[in-house]
A and B are shown apart, each in its own frame.
Chain A
């Protein structure tokens, strides 16, 4: 099986150049190979062992047409990191799904560009917003949460099938996307290191409670389509964007049974609308970032009088949600890059009692220092919440052994109460080593 997967993944890059060169077009092929292994400090067990191959083809057919394809072949040891597939749409599910290996399409697009107008068809991601890893208006894409937020880049996106139209005129850019793909997220599988534990991420059902949960059908193309638009204006030293999105949320709610208490509850991702704006502004040697979003109908589980399961009594409501975030980038003395961010996420509970705090306050700090002529980089990250008093500290050291080969070593030190966003994984503190090869 592994051999078959490997050849499925890499054979396109072996065959493609010949076809492309025959037509006199520009084709570039590449292959990234990553191996990451993490050891949990509490019991010295391997909590993550995953090999990822990302073969890629970029084909500039002519000055107007461009095609891109990237596959994702992942091989992982039992229970250490392939993630769930139940929240994928049928169209986005892996081409091959074996016990310990998968092959899926990471990107497959055909783009036409003429002047300031571009149309992109295919499996793609839509990156909006301006903060790093804190999603305020950046809520169009499906997200991988199988490694929680402890990934190289945040958020880790899942591409989906759709169409995107971009048009520039003067200092304005208009961007619209329509995605006919109901994929919403990828979580850790039950038993994995980062399978959600906190009650707030389980719709109010405590970890360990046996729940007859049925996952909502993700084959509803139109009902679960995502669409959105963004208008961006450039001015002297900044950029402002206005964003509207409609589509299923990436955070699940548990929908109680409508008839009898014995019926299975439904894990669903109801639609919501988002209206927001983002701003980045360069003032002197500091770049400021600001984002705000309002979701008038955020689906959220609340405690209610309706009995559900053996745990708390739950219901699901749509409540107004407002998220505001700000951040700043600067270069500190000694060529140290600093990024600091703060965000508040408030849900107006009204008369209801939410399964999460009404307001979450989240902060992050990143310091990055290159050494040895940029061949070595030391990074220290902190992310955490003031509301739960939890967080993660992430030191890492990256070393470019050659232009093609990188080694990195780091740790994720997680702390906080068991019901916190970060604290739920406090037993998953780990050290890790990563090898990356780019050909």
Chain B
């Protein structure tokens, strides 16, 4: 749950030159890793969580994020449905020390510091794991050995491809994945599709970016679908009213703000 907003930020990138020569796997992974992000942003998140039988559930939330000084702060205020309205979630992700996470449940009236979830736990009943969200759909070098890169035509557009396998069995166990294959947009270094395999090498999950947009000077995925090909479930995530807010009020991203109610941001 905690890094859901980071998932959106994951798809941020700036336009780069479309090169004819395919970069090496390491170069490509570095370019993806170094995509710039907004210093601050807000938007409305909409989730549609579909079961294998096609039954859907909806979630709406206000999302706020800042990324400065080595810490990424993300707040999610649920606005619907009514049963979870005003439930608020906040995470501070530090580069140099352990993450901090808080949850506010209106029924208890208490802001509660909560333990971090395991990487392979699923977030809020979606098809995203906490690890998916934490890594912003990038491919950290301490988790992956990059095995191949190349290029292919997708819809008349030249795309890079990147493949990797888990750096070790322990890492694979922690991630819940043993390998991935991704299609990368050379203009943004943004994955357009990622396919993960499970620990036995079978296709497990597919992440597809359906729509992108420019927020401030960075690109972001405004609509994406995550499908579990083994269970037949899927999650559609879309963002509306996404705005760059480099000067976002840091108090809105502090734990003490969680019980103030849903922030009114114009």
Interfacial residues, chain A to chain B (CB-CB below 8 A): 26, 28, 30-32, 58, 60, 62-63, 66, 68, 113, 115-116, 118, 125, 127, 129-130, 152-153, 157, 168, 173, 232, 234, 236-239, 280, 282, 284-287, 329-331, 335, 370, 373-375, 400, 402-404, 406, 436, 438-439
Query: Is A373 a contact partner of B122 (Cβ separation < 8 A)?
Result: yes
5 nearest A-B pairs in the assembled complex, by CB-CB distance: A374-B125, A438-B82, A373-B125, A127-B109, A403-B81
Query: Is A168 a contact partner of B256 (Cβ separation < 8 A)?
Result: yes
Is B19 engaged at the interface, CB distance under 8 Å to the other chain? no
Q: Whole-angstrom distance from the CB of A121 to the nearest CB of chain B?
A: 15
Report chain A residues within 8 Å CB of B114: 287, 329
Query: Is A282 a contact partner of B113 (Cβ separation < 8 A)?
Result: yes
Q: Which of B81-136 contact A (CB under 8 A)?
A: 81-83, 85-86, 97-98, 100-101, 107-110, 113-118, 121-122, 124-126
Given contacts A329-B114, A374-B125, whether A115 and B251 have CB atoms under 8 Å apart is: yes
Q: Whole-angstrom distance from the CB of A375 to the nearest CB of chain B?
A: 7
Query: Is B85 a contact partner of A28 (Cβ separation < 8 A)?
Result: yes
Q: Which of B129-161 contact A (CB under 8 A)?
A: none
Query: Is B125 a contact partner of A30 (Cβ separation < 8 A)?
Result: no
25 contacts between A and B (CB under 8 A): A31-B82, A32-B82, A58-B86, A60-B264, A68-B261, A113-B260, A116-B251, A118-B260, A152-B107, A157-B109, A234-B254, A237-B97, A237-B98, A239-B255, A280-B113, A282-B101, A285-B116, A330-B115, A331-B117, A331-B121, A374-B124, A403-B58, A403-B81, A404-B83, A438-B81
Q: Whole-angstrom distance from the CB of A117 to the nearest CB of chain B?
A: 11
**Alpha-carbon distance A403/B82, docked complex (angstroms):** 8
Query: Is A30 a contact partner of B117 (Cβ separation < 8 A)?
Result: no
For B126, the closest partner residue in chain A by CB is: A373
Query: Is B121 a contact partner of A403 (Cβ separation < 8 A)?
Result: no
Report chain A residues within 8 Å CB of B101: 282
**Alpha-carbon distance A135/B85, docked complex (angstroms):** 26
Report chain B residues within 8 Å CB of A287: 113-115
For B117, the closest partner residue in chain A by CB is: A331
For B108, the closest partner residue in chain A by CB is: A153
Residue among B81, B100, B107, B126 making CB contact with A404, cutoff 8 Å = B81
Residue among A115, A286, A335 making CB contact with B118, cutoff 8 Å = A335
Contacts A28-B85, A439-B82 known; 8 new A-B pairs at CB < 8 A: A31-B82, A153-B107, A173-B256, A280-B113, A286-B115, A335-B118, A373-B233, A438-B81
Report chain B residues within 8 Å CB of A68: 261
Query: Is A63 a contact partner of B109 (Cβ separation < 8 A)?
Result: no
Q: Whole-angstrom distance from the CB of B58 to the nearest CB of chain A?
A: 6
A interface footprint on B49-75 (CB within 8 Å = 1, 0 otherwise): 101000001100000000000000000
Query: Which of B83, B126, B256, B261 has its CB near the most chain A CB atoms (within 10 A)?
Result: B83
Q: Whole-angstrom distance from the CB of B7 to the nearest CB of chain A?
A: 17
Given contacts A116-B251, A403-B83, A404-B83, whether A285 and B115 have CB atoms under 8 Å apart is: yes
**Alpha-carbon distance A370/B117, docked complex (angstroms):** 13
Q: Whole-angstrom distance from the CB of A293 to the nearest CB of chain B?
A: 17
**Alpha-carbon distance A271/B261, docked complex (angstroms):** 33
Query: Which of B49, B113, B122, B261 has its CB near the most chain A CB atoms (within 10 A)?
Result: B113
Q: Whole-angstrom distance from the CB of A338 to the nearest CB of chain B?
A: 9
Report chain A residues within 8 Å CB of B264: 26, 60, 62-63
Report chain B residues within 8 Å CB of A127: 108-110
Query: Which of B98, B115, B126, B256 has its CB near the most chain A CB atoms (within 10 A)?
Result: B115
Q: Which of B233-266 contact A (CB under 8 A)?
A: 233, 251, 254-256, 260-262, 264, 266
**Alpha-carbon distance A234/B251, docked complex (angstroms):** 13
Query: Which of B82, B254, B266 has its CB near the most chain A CB atoms (within 10 A)?
Result: B82
Report chain B residues within 8 Å CB of A236: 97
**Alpha-carbon distance A30/B256, docked complex (angstroms):** 25
Query: Is B115 a contact partner of A282 (Cβ separation < 8 A)?
Result: yes
**Alpha-carbon distance A28/B37, docked complex (angstroms):** 33
Given contacts A168-B251, A282-B115, whether A30 and B85 have CB atoms under 8 Å apart is: yes
**Alpha-carbon distance A51/B264, docked complex (angstroms):** 34
For B83, the closest partner residue in chain A by CB is: A438
Report chain B residues within 8 Å CB of A284: 98
Report chain A residues within 8 Å CB of B124: 374
Q: Whole-angstrom distance from the CB of B64 to the nearest CB of chain A?
A: 15
**Alpha-carbon distance A400/B264, docked complex (angstroms):** 29
Query: Is B82 a contact partner of A329 (Cβ separation < 8 A)?
Result: no
**Alpha-carbon distance A129/B110, docked complex (angstroms):** 9
**Alpha-carbon distance A438/B87, docked complex (angstroms):** 14
Query: Which of A58, A125, A129, A287 has its CB near the most chain B CB atoms (within 10 A)?
Result: A287
Q: Whole-angstrom distance from the CB of A153 to the nearest CB of chain B?
A: 5
Query: Is B49 a contact partner of A373 (Cβ separation < 8 A)?
Result: yes
For A375, the closest partner residue in chain B by CB is: B125
Q: Whole-angstrom distance from the CB of A322 to the nearest CB of chain B?
A: 23
Report chain B residues within 8 Å CB of A370: 125
Report chain A residues within 8 Å CB of B266: 63
Residue among A58, A66, A113, A239 making CB contact with B113, cutoff 8 Å = A239
**Alpha-carbon distance A404/B57, docked complex (angstroms):** 10
Residue among A30, A66, A280 making CB contact with B82, cutoff 8 Å = A30
Report chain A residues within 8 Å CB of B86: 58
Report chain B residues within 8 Å CB of A237: 97-98, 100
